[in-house]
Structure 1
């Protein structure tokens, strides 16, 4: 009996050992104490729109004519009356040739025709003056400073004796060689021509002294649109010569009026001057020249 029990015990031990070898233990589950969020696929990036391109700057009026003979490119500080004077033209003509609705509004870089349409600019050879001092622009149609009562009455008397003749399209056709010159005043010269510092002649005088046209021509400007010149009269004598009369107390002519040599056109004064004087200029194709070389001996 005991032998049988021992046999059963051995058999049971063998079975237990076999079960341990053939059935390995499963590992205990691992607990993750720092869970990470589930990863999702990154969305596709939206296309970036191209940066807007700046519009190309609009070319200034007349830019296609820049550098051509007979045209002028506007620079900072320019005024139409100065451009016209430096090219021997009437500012109204320049405004008309360039279809300027407002002659007081020109822009830097704008290219202006400064010779009449159809004229050979190379033959005319209009030359701007690079060394001319800058003039501050004023409205071209601004009224000149009021003259004194005596000046006004004098102007009325003069107008009665010398009736104005309107002729907008006619300039003196006198040839340069035959243009008859006279003196603008009988007063002494106080400052001569200097190409750098004085573009004409200065004459001393008293308020109200007569200022005379030095030759036949047409008034192309009468106003106070250039600072430094005061009340200014400009006369065009032909396609070559202009004359300018500055600092007047009173102006006795008006724009587009035809005048004759020796005609009283203004009275001496001190507008924009520290003394009473006449500043007189002669422009040949826009360039200041020494009046003393053209005026007759006296």
Structure 2
């Protein structure tokens, strides 16, 4: 499981969503969708073959509890295009529609975003060891560690059901998992872990897909 997570850049708590692409070595499959469909089809076929005309059997099948979805009901990506208006929002910070982005650090961009499959999935900003790194928006820390090869000391923040931001190559992490942070709050010190020099590798991910941070950050 951890090897699969590493291949796909998925970190704790290892959440995947319907229609998300997963890599199994060179192969790509859709997560969640087909296995559930096959299971339900097999269950339905078995029920029909046992007794096609049995109303009691049909009634029994209708009482079976549905499979619990991986993503929350108000997930705006993948499985559901619009949120449930009647559902109460538990945490407005994580479920708000808008994210107010700010630059995590000041410095020169030495590597830009690339749409190529093996290209840079964020931007790299140069700086000095120990430079203050701030949260680009308010949210909750969902990962803080160094288990992902190539990222060094890494922090990932969840801003809502759609957006995550990632901060890599840090020298020192100043926040922990499940901690709530606010925009502009210092979360780490810039470093060179798993990098050739001091820099911040910064990513924004929309529904699991890396997007160009320069399209979201202020001019």
* Equivalent position SS for 2:170: strand
* Equivalent position SS for 2:95: coil
Report the equivalent of 2:4: 78
Q: In 2, are the aligned partners of 1:199 and 1:288 still within 8 Å (CA)?
A: yes
CA distance in 1, matches of 2:6, 2:32: 10
**RMSD of aligned residue pairs (Cα, Å):** 3.1
* Equivalent position SS for 2:148: coil
Give a deviation string over 1:29-76, Cα, whole Å, max 9, x none: xxxxxxxxxxxxxxxxxxxxxxxxxxxxxxxxxxxxxxxxxxxxx7x9
Give a deviation string over 1:166-190, Cα, whole Å, max 9, x none: xxx84522213xx211001011111
Pairing 1:191–2:148 present = no
Report the equivalent of 1:94: 15
1:81–1:259 CA distance, 2 compared to 1 (3 A): farther
Report the equivalent of 1:274: 196
1:293–1:117 CA distance, 2 compared to 1 (3 A): closer
Give a deviation string over 1:167-222, Cα, whole Å, max 9, x none: xx84522213xx21100101111111112210000000110001110111000000
* Equivalent position SS for 1:123: coil
CA distance in 2, matches of 1:211, 1:229: 15
More strand by share: 2
Larger Rg: 1
Alignment of 1:230-245 (within 5 A): 230-245=152-167
* Equivalent position SS for 2:147: coil
5+ residue gaps, structure 1, are: 1-73, 86-90, 98-108, 126-168
CA distance in 2, matches of 1:224, 1:192: 23
Normalised to the residue count of structure 2, the TM-score between the two structures is 0.65
5+ residue gaps, structure 2, are: 18-28, 34-68, 83-89
Q: In 2, are the aligned partners of 1:81 and 1:225 still within 8 Å (CA)?
A: no
Report the equivalent of 1:209: 131
